[in-house]
Structure 1
């Protein structure tokens, strides 16, 4: 079974209807670092090329740290 893919517009419309709020308010919340844990979101047109690179590198670092933790646990398991 294939995963269903929804457009960003559809997702936004669904959330707006479910929460009964204005679409511009939802966009403001999404792009405000106070409400999104300090992350700049990918579809934020205000991101500079440098900020995009930082986001990509931070994501890569998180993935590498996760892989490292998995390998450490696996190694510890094999040592038993």
Structure 2
């Protein structure tokens, strides 16, 4: 089973190599992680230093905003369908449904 490391651990580990100039292979050995894993973290950090470690429930801000808008859109469509059904039902029975605008 793969180990899971939190974003702070990954970020601090990458900074040991990039900012403090420590040798990646030695940092990996000291922390008990594979060099391949560490080099992957370094590559992701270099690609996007602001949001390097997404996944496992963590999204980039743009992806989170898009997901939130999609959810809101879906909820509004569902509410709209409920209101349409309610209006159609009240039209058949002759009752008046108050509409607040």
Structure 2 length-normalised TM: 0.36
Structure number, greater radius of gyration: 2
Give the number of the structure with larger relative contact order, counting CA–CA contacts within 8 Å between residues 6 or more apart.
2
